Amino acid sequence: MFVFIDESGDLGRFGSKFFVIACLITNNRVQLERIVKRIRQRLLHKHEKEVPEIKANSSSRLVREKVLEMVSRTDASIAIIAFEKKGQDLRLKSNELYNQLVGSLLMEINFSLNTRIEIIIDKKDSNQLLRKNLDAQIIKALGGLVEGIKIRHMDSFNSKGLQVVDFVAWAANRKFSFDDNSYYKIIENKINLVKKE
């Protein structure tokens, strides 16, 4: 089983009302890779094809909707945690808070016993110690619940699955932070878990 994790929003005092982390869970990562391939072939202009990755924030409405529509037709499931900042500036605690939220979300996902899981996370930190702390939090959250855990930190331009979950996290943040449900409802049939903190 593959679990792709990405976030949307910020932890500053201003900006988004919520900080959102999304997990996209699938047994077949090839179907996610096909989404990005099809978008690049059919919807991107020539100059956009030079860009190494597609991102929700910089994509057109058409591209966002098409990516999410294709997600809704996969066998993937989605889990989301939405953390309300309540006007706090949390940037100094960002790594600790991120790790706690990822661990909290993963603990709530109903993984089958004896499942082997590969977790692919957007490589936000070049600091190896910070990545090790996150890995330890994930193993603590899932230890005993699954058979084996492999954790990979990747640059999103090297992972089509991470590019797809970026759109999922962005759509969820539009709903929670900006009361824009238009993208979220496209993937609502795939959302198995929503946790608010």
Contact 80, 20 (CB under 8 A): yes
Domain boundaries, the chain: 2-196
pTM: 0.93
Mean pLDDT for the chain overall: 89
* 174 vs 53, residue with greater confidence: 174
**CA–CA separation, 50 vs 89, rounded Å?**
36
CB atoms within 10 A of CB 165: 31
pLDDT tens-digit series, residues 82-131: 999 987 878 777 888 999 999 999 999 888 767 789 999 988 766 788 88
CATH code of the domain occupying 2-196: 3.30.420.10
Residue 114, judged by CB atoms within 10 A of its CB (0-12, 13-18, 19+), counts as exposed
